[in-house]
Amino acid sequence: MRHQFNIKENGRLVGFTWADYAMFCGMLLLSLFIGIFYAYRNRKKANEEFLLGGRSMSCGPVSLSLVASYISAILVLGGPAETYYHNIGWLVGIGGLAGIPVVTVVFLPFLYKLRITSVYEYLEMRFDSRMMRRMASLMFVLQTLLYEAVAIYAPALALAAVTNMPVWVSILAVAAIASVYTAIGGMKAVVWTDVMQLLVIIGGLLAIVIKGSIDLGGVQNIWNIALNHNRTGPNIMKLEFDLYERHTLANILVGAFLGNLSAFACSQTAVQRYSSMKSLNHARVSLLLTVPFYVLLYVLAAFTGLVLFATYEGCDPLAAGLITSKDQILPFFVMDKLSAAPGLPGLFVACIFSGALSTISSAVSSQAAVTWEDWLSHIPRCAALPPTTQAAITKVIAGAYGVLAVGLAFLAGNFGGLLQTAHAFVGSVSGPLLAVFTLAFFMPFSNAIGGCAGLLLGTSAPLIVNFGASGLGLKPELLPTSTDTCPLDMVIPETSSVPPLRASDLDYPQKLFALSYKHTVTLGFLVAMVTGILIGCLAFDH
């Protein structure tokens, strides 16, 4: 049976209806309304209210906000695309959520009791070094800017695939809306918009999974199709250790575990949420509650990819030239198969935008917090300003970080795959930051010089590997797809006869650039730890 696509005579997919625009615009207006509401309510309050919500937040909304902050449009688009063009193996990363209970027991109680606004203030206390604090703060800002860039680019890519909106317009729209409601509304606006946006994300993915399962004859049929094409099953995951294999059981689990430790133990985004809680028990519960939500979202994103593959089993839109990037497969499906249901495409685009908005708002809020606390608050002239003026300056800083992220977002399309790109960028800094906090917590002999050197070398090593891989043109190899059942009148573009560059084609030292992106966090962590321990031991001996 030949595939039939919902394409107009001009070759474009059927576009938005008034119901879709209503659904999409309604979500954006609600986000802005929440920001305006808290801006008015807290207009005469100081920085503690803006950055920490007056330390009065409860566990439910903060838990949902934490999940929304780290999920983003990258998972919503990249997860299904990863499943479709590779396999469901990335879902093994759920095992890395074991890092969250470790943070709850080991790191959270200590950091909460410090009553700090910036988590990097602890490093100054521990190492008696403001340079250590500021360097860690700067690394966090760098990491977050890189992640923001990919998170902004993701919905721009989606909108370009399903509407006539150019990518650059969408990039500006996402960043502007998120920056505005964060800059004016503060932490409470961020948390409550995150809650609303996470519910939209879950609703959007559920709608796609349910509708797709009904159309394809049920879950069992979808699974069998995936099994027959190596998208799932017992043989998709390599169990033995291999530095250059893109996905193995070991590199996914270790990378995910270390990544979660870093994200929740020493990231300003998470610790700023803990500090906003009304009690330590609320902070503990909010963190543990994130686990089931993460599992739900990962499973939904992965199964969405199986639905997409079963739908286009015989006529892959990427191979057929209907989309230009693998990360456009989900928005293409929505406009192709779900546009008959008024409002569903609008819900989907709102879902993508919600993921981006929640990430950007949390990011700029955290960046503004560390910039003020770690850099500006120590300047006598800034410290002497009235509390409301300090809050106003912090709001301007939050908006400025949104502008910087926009510039980087225009570069994000040069890297291969949203999920992989985000993991590589974030891991380059999160591994070394985790190493520094590990040294501070558990190794009394460690010192500021070792910590600073570890941060620099630990961040440089994975960044060199990632950018080196991009410079060589190393991109993940896609599993085979078919165009056998495409419409007879469709012109299928010719595929390149040049095989993709593989790790086995390279000699040392270039081969080091082919290191699996899943080793990014581990590489940064190990380099920073070894550096910090060696320098700490040398100083201790003397």
Q: For residue range 77-114, what is the model confidence (pLDDT) as tens digits? A: 889 999 999 999 999 999 999 999 999 999 999 999 99
Q: Give the residue from 360, 349, 344 showing the smallest Cα distance to 149.
A: 360
Mean pLDDT of 425-452: 92
Q: Residue 277 pLDDT more than 90?
A: no
* Burial track 502-536 (b if 16+ CB lie within 10 A, e otherwise): ebeebeeeeebbbbbbbbbbbbbbbbbbebbbebb
Burial of 357 (0-12, 13-18, 19+ CB in 10 A): buried
Q: What are phi and psi of 57, to 5 degrees?
A: -75, 150
Helix (H) or strand (E) holding 539: helix 520-541
- For the chain, give the number of residues: 542
Tokens of 166: 């150019």
Mean pLDDT of 266-272: 87
When mean pLDDT is compared over 18-32, 345-359, 523-537, the highest value belongs to 523-537
- Determine how many CB atoms are found less than 10 A away from the CB of residue 420: 24
Mean pLDDT of 369-386: 89
The string of DSSP letters for 20-60 reads HHHHHHHHHHHHHHHHHHHHHHTTT--HHHHHHGGG-B-HH
Q: Angle CA(124)–CA(263)–CA(372) in degrees, nearest 5?
A: 45
Q: For residue range 485-522, what is the model confidence (pLDDT) as tens digits? A: 998 888 888 876 677 788 878 888 888 889 998 899 99
Place of tokens 């800083």: 397
- The amino acid occupying position 170 is S
Rounded Cα distance, 215 and 221, in Å: 11
DSSP state of 13: B
Q: Residue 65 pLDDT more than 90?
A: no
Q: Which stretch of 35-39, 84-88, 134-138 has the lowest confidence by average pLDDT?
A: 35-39
Q: For residue range 380-416, what is the model confidence (pLDDT) as tens digits? A: 998 888 877 887 888 788 888 888 888 888 776 555 5
Q: For residue range 416-435, what is the model confidence (pLDDT) as tens digits? A: 555 566 667 778 889 999 99
Q: Give the residue from 339, 349, 347 showing the smallest Cα distance to 77.
A: 349
Helical axes 387-409 vs 167-215, angle rounded to 10°: 70
Long-range contacts of 107-114 (CB under 8 A, 24+ apart): 107/264, 107/265, 107/266, 107/437, 107/441, 108/265, 108/274, 108/280, 108/283, 108/284, 108/287, 109/280, 109/284, 110/441, 111/265, 111/271, 111/274, 112/274, 112/275, 112/277, 112/280, 112/283, 113/280
- Determine how many CB atoms are found less than 10 A away from the CB of residue 439: 25
Helical axes 59-85 vs 418-442, angle rounded to 10°: 130
Q: For residue range 288-328, what is the model confidence (pLDDT) as tens digits? A: 999 999 999 999 999 999 999 999 999 999 999 888 888 88
- 280 near 113, Cβ under 8 Å? yes
Q: What is the pLDDT of residue 356?
A: 75
Q: Is 509 left (phi over 0), alpha (psi -120 to 50) or beta?
A: alpha
Task: Describe the chain by its helix, strand, coil percentages, rounded to 5.
Answer: 75, 0, 25
Task: Write down the mean pLDDT value for the chain.
Answer: 84
More confident residue, 156 or 450: 450
Rounded Cα distance, 177 and 31, in Å: 8
Q: What is the pLDDT of residue 49?
A: 47
Q: What is the pLDDT of residue 162?
A: 64
More confident residue, 480 or 241: 480
DSSP state of 501: P
Mean pLDDT of 262-272: 89
Q: What is the pLDDT of residue 414?
A: 57
Tokens of 104: 């709850």
Burial of 370 (0-12, 13-18, 19+ CB in 10 A): buried
Q: What is the pLDDT of residue 53?
A: 47
First to last CA, the chain: 78
